[in-house]
Amino acid sequence: DMADVGVIVNISEDHLGLDGIETLEEMADVKSLVVEAVKPGGYAVLNADDKMTPFFLERIRCNIILFSMNKDNPLVLAHIRNGGIAVLRRGRSLYLQNGNKTIRLLKTAEIPAAIGGILECNIENALAATAAMYALGVPPNILRRALHTFNADEVQNPGRFNLYDMGGFRVLLDYGHNPAGYRAAVQFIRQLGAARRIGILGMPGDRLDRQIRETGAICAGEFSRYIIKEDRIKRGRQPGEVAALLRDALMERGIDLNDVILIENELEALKYAVRHAVPGDLIVMFHEDFKPAAEWIHNYQNKTWTACEKPCIISE
């Protein structure tokens, strides 16, 4: 079956090294099926800011809608001049451009999922979603309503940038699992105004060594304290292998080993961070398993939790 709309948000190094895919070009070749399988009268929605988009444009045989965080993106400007459709951010607002017709949708600060307009990756996601829905014929007034009512919470978007008030400090749970995800999270938490940031870090075992080390490098200097945990599902790694790569990357960038703790179980890592939190802290956990962490947080908030057992610290 052919699709009415196909969306490619971006092409990154995530999942390289799996199933014989070793380069971005090979990854793009696989993902191009998403837009190659669109009906001739349908739409391919593409990120004009992604460097692989020209590769997709050469393979598409349907209509195109571009989205961009940059109003001056050359691909977008050329597309609009040719009568094309684009969804883009201009200043602090989102706009729909259909040829010469410009429709202002809403301010980025009015998108709950963008958390006051500072969560850049969810602004980009909003652009992509808006473009896809417009391609399906959803009118602008309904698009505005949808963007106004979609939240970055565990009801509508569980496990992605879910922020919890713990009474004097906060916890952020996010499924950042690649360098791009960590960069987006770091960019976001810099703007949250915490007195201290405590990072609970981990990566899936099937990522490349260099990607795991890059993730450690991204985090270096962004936290006052680093708690490294390991995923329960090792994905081919030996116990402690991923944690060692992250630790070494932090140390190579000047992080004091006294500020790094290894706690194998991620829920125990969260409990440890909460027990040692002080007013004004922001604890950021890049989780593997969202549900147990969220349940424990709710129990803490409701004061139905019992005293935590001493966490299993495997080295310090």
Asked if residue 133 is part of any domain, the answer here is yes
pTM of the model: 0.88
- Residue 148 is predicted with a pLDDT of 96
> Which residue range(s) make up the domain with 75?
3-149
Confidence bin at 6 (pLDDT 50/70/90): very high
Q: Using H for helix, E for strand and C for coil, what is the string for the chain?
A: CCEEEEEECCCCCCCCCECCECCHHHHHHHHCHHHHCEEEEEEEEEECCCCCHHHHHCCCCCEEEEEECCCCCHHHHHHHHCCCEEEEEECCEEEEEECCEEEEEEEHHHCHHHCCCCCHHHHHHHHHHHHHHHHCCCCHHHHHHHHHHCCCCCCCCCCCCEEEECCCCEEEEECCCCHHHHHHHHHHHCCCCCCEEEEEECCCCCCCHHHHHHHHHHHCCCCCEEEECCCCCCCCCCCCHHHHHHHHHHHHCCCCHHHEEEECCHHHHHHHHHHCCCCCEEEEEECCCHHHHHHHHHHHHCCCCCCCCCCCEEEC
Report the CATH number at residue 175: 3.90.190.20
pLDDT digits (tens, 9 = 90+) for 132-174: 999 999 999 999 999 999 999 999 999 999 999 999 999 999 9
pLDDT of residue 32: 86
Which of 56-70, 77-91, 299-313 bottoms out in mean pLDDT, i.e. has the lowest? 299-313
Per-residue pLDDT at 24: 73
- Domain end point (choices 85, 114, 149): 149
Inform me whether the pLDDT recorded for 16 exceeds 70. no
118 and 219 housed in the same domain: no
Q: Convert the pLDDT of each residue in 74-119 to its tens digit.
A: 999 999 999 999 999 999 999 999 989 999 999 999 999 999 999 9
